[in-house]
Amino acid sequence: MNRSKKQQQVMSAVPMQWLGINTVVLTPQERLERLRQEYLCKPDQVWMNGRGKRYMRDQLAATLKAEDEYFDRNLPLAVEGNQHWDDFIDNCVIYAVLCSVLDDKPLVLLHPSCWERTIKKCGNRRVRSDRPTLIKGVASIL
């Protein structure tokens, strides 16, 4: 991705603690919106070989909680560029959006002013070097 486009990209921080996972995920806001639309618009039978979104959520919950414990024990591996970590982070985004849609609750976003403090609470796991963007009109936690 070219540098100027990356700088213009709106980033959102999704704290995973409300789902029992000890990390904060920084992801493009556009990705959150695209996933939300997919989960809202596509029929249940297209997910997990016809088992549906609830089954997918249950599978992600079990997998991500185990992965979270793994990274708690192996903090040096929780770095961008480690494929295992990158997959974990990607799945966290999917899980958070899916839970939001299935539970009909807003997706929790972290206010940019709380970024550094929250990262330290998560055991200083390495996340993208970007920072979240304050999006006018979008509620976030402080």
Along the 142 residues of the chain, how does pLDDT read in single tens digits? 454 455 578 888 898 988 999 888 888 999 999 999 999 999 999 999 999 999 999 999 999 999 999 998 998 898 888 999 999 999 999 999 999 999 999 998 887 767 666 665 555 454 544 555 555 545 544 4
CA distance 36 to 50: 19
Phi then psi dihedrals of residue 104, to 5 deg: 55, 50
Q: For the chain, report the end-to-end CA distance as a whole number of angstroms.
A: 31
Picking from 78, 62, 83, 74, the residue whose alpha carbon sits closest to that of residue 20 is: 62
Structure tokens at 71: 């990274």
Picking from 103, 136, 120, the residue whose alpha carbon sits closest to that of residue 15 is: 120
